[in-house]
Amino acid sequence: MKHYLTDPEMASLVEAIKLAEDHSSGEIRVHIDETAETDFAKKAFGIFQSLEMHKTKERNAVLFYVNFEHHYLTIIGDEGIHKKVQQEFWDTLHDEITAEFAKGNYYQGLKNAILKTGYELKKYFPVGTENSNELSNDISFS
């Protein structure tokens, strides 16, 4: 299997998630699917649930689900954040990521999207002094 992200890039994406979540109650996860399954939309929703992203207090979790081999990307924003940013934000973000992916810039495409999502989370879900991290920042795989 071709490796699309190096270990240092994956570590840097985890740091980008931490930065993006700073000063926000929002949660961001990246899941990389390395299987040959083809019902990606169903699997992405299943991953969203298995990671318990729908259980955040303000329903403001965002999942970037990627299968590089099959050129599949979906972004799932829970109802709290989706109500604030609307579908146009996700569509634009998806287009920006896939444009970077088309150039072979997998790391930069994801990093930019994570940071842009973090900006929106900070705008709509700011926190004061206490910021509990409800979900892991680690990249998950299947």
pLDDT at 35 over 90: no
Q: Encoding tokens for residue 106?
A: 């997998």
**CA 110 – CA 93 distance, rounded (Å):** 10
| pLDDT surpassing 50 at residue 22 | yes
Q: Give the model's pLDDT for residue 40.
A: 92
pLDDT at 36: 81
SS (H, E, C) the chain: CCCCCCHHHHHHHHHHHHHHHCCECCEEEEEECCCCCCCHHHHHHHHHHHCCHHHCCCCCEEEEEEECCCCEEEEEECHHHHHHHHHHHHHHHHHHHHHHHHCCCHHHHHHHHHHHHHHHHHHHCECCCCCCCCCCCCCEEC
Please determine, looking at this structure, whether the domain spanning 7-141 carries the CATH number 3.10.310.50: yes
Percentage of the chain lying above the pLDDT 70 cut: 96
In this prediction the pTM is: 0.95
pLDDT at 57: 92
What pLDDT, in 10s, does the model give residues 54-67?
999 999 999 999 99
pLDDT at 1 over 50: no
pLDDT band with cut points at 50, 70 and 90 for residue 2: low
CB atoms near residue 83 (< 10 Å):
12
Give the tokens for residue 34.
């390395």
The mean per-residue pLDDT over the stretch 23-45 comes to 92
Count Cβ atoms below 10 Å from residue 45 Cβ, excluding itself.
16
pLDDT in tens, 97-131: 999 999 999 999 999 999 999 999 999 999 876 66
pLDDT tier at 85, thresholds 50, 70, 90: very high
d(CA 76, CA 126): 20
Q: Which amino acid is at 52?
A: E
